[in-house]
Amino acid sequence: MRTDYSLRQHSLLYRQRAGNVKGTYGFVQKGMAVRDCRWPGNDEMYWDIAKYRQILRKRYQETAFPPCMHLPVCDILIFGQLWQRAFCRHWHTSPDIIRSDSSMKKIAIITSGGDAPGMNAAITAIVKAAARRGIECIGIKRGFNGLLTISADNQKDLQYFDLETVLDNADRPGTQLRTARCDDFRKPEYQKKGADNLRALGVDAVVVIGGDGSFQGALRLVEQGIPCVGIPGTIDNDLAFTEMTLGYETAVQVCTEAIRDIRATSRSHNRPHVVECMGRHCGDVALKAACATGAEIVLVPEVKWDIETVAQRLCYQIRKENPRATIVIAEGCWDSMMPFDAYSYLNPRGKKFREDDKINASFLASILQRKCIDILGLNEGSPDRYHDEGDELAVRSTVVGYTQRGRMPVAKDSAFAFEAGHLAVSLLCKGYSGQVIGTRHGRVFHMDMADALKEKRTFRHDLYDLVNDIRE
């Protein structure tokens, strides 16, 4: 349908298709009253300026505007006429909806890998941002596993979202879509099957929330022609391109509270304590929690360490009248431990240990207890004491565990999820693909996903040295 708009006041004849009277997200401006222009009663509606600016300015050269009139003023007058003559007649949508020029109709959301606090908040933000643009959102359950099973006939792993379904979801921990790891998706035939399943459901783009493995899966979908945007969701904070990931701040808070409670009971009994935090390949959670609680020793996967040195540090604390020192370790710190024959050391000293036993926090506590007894010249179980008050040397251990993943997200994680979710939908509507969202200097940004995964993560050795009191 073609409609003529005659702007007689300025001798400008402008022809415009009614179907083009739409807003483009990212280039919208709010209507306001302009002198000499009659505006509709509702000034909360949006219109696209970028779309018409080039055409109007070209036409401006052909009009009879006074030479002294400033060009932006000219634009405002023309937009005022277009608003009155076009938008009031052909805008049939709700004022709070911003239409997109893209053909985006349906977005799928996938949460993959380990769950992290803030994933539900990100899902909520994506659904709300999509709803404002009239885009449908669906969720795929069980990560990429669900992607391989969904179809028009089998929708067990599908969840349809609307504003009501996510109304009270943002503050909930975990992910309502469930999550899992999928080794099959590494194979090309399964990657093609996943992309075909998405096309069969009419999905135009995918938002993947997860870690580096999840983003590798997203890149495979991009290679299959499915636009994807990634949001980092992992408590480990092990992605180099971003300062924080969803769930990291919450995990640090959980560990900090746990260590504070443990230090309180350690004071009551005057005994050291080993506390294990999550972090298979990255020690950021353990390091930050150690800094926040005043722990005396921290062990992480990024730095080599040995049992003898740790025992000497603990004995140093005991001699300084600090028999309740706290040793914070990351779950992956064993990868950086120097070789130690625990079997030969523990068994003669009354601790049964098999060569195939798993090394864990309890193992470290047993080793340190017996090492310190040897270094301090004490005999375990004898009247000999290591403290004036008569306390026996006993090192205990605690694993913080999955409570780090199951806590309600703290404000910083929720705020990042909100911004990242809205930016993800915005990028897809603008035609971006293969992008990942991160945060730097407190602001969200996006970059190429493949380039982001190539970046090398840096570890805060300065903080590590401060906690362990290592001096130059």
Active-site positions read 236
Residue 347 CB partners (closer than 8 Å, separation 6+): 353
Residue with tokens 């009270």: 168
CA separation for the pair 327, 287 (Å, rounded):
11
User: What's the distance, Cα to Cα, between the start and end of the chain in Å?
Assistant: 77
b/e per residue 295-319 (b: at least 16 CB within 10 A): bbbbbbbbbebebeebbebbbebbe
Residue with tokens 């969840």: 159
- Going by the DSSP 8-state scheme, the letter that residue 173 receives in this structure is S
Q: What type of residue sits at position 363? A: F
Cβ atoms 199, 206 nearer than 8 A: no
The token pair that represents 124 in the structure block: 């909520």
Residue 292 CB partners (closer than 8 Å, separation 6+): 252, 256, 259
On the 0-12 / 13-18 / 19+ scale of CB atoms within 10 A, 330 is buried
Residue with tokens 């506590």: 365
CA separation for the pair 335, 222 (Å, rounded):
34
On the 0-12 / 13-18 / 19+ scale of CB atoms within 10 A, 268 is exposed
- How many whole angstroms from its chain centre is CA 190? 26
* Closest by CA position to 293, among listed 262, 271, 250, 331: 262
CA separation for the pair 17, 464 (Å, rounded):
64
CA separation for the pair 323, 92 (Å, rounded):
73
CB atoms within 10 A of CB 112: 31
Cβ atoms 400, 430 nearer than 8 A: no
Q: What type of residue sits at position 323? A: P
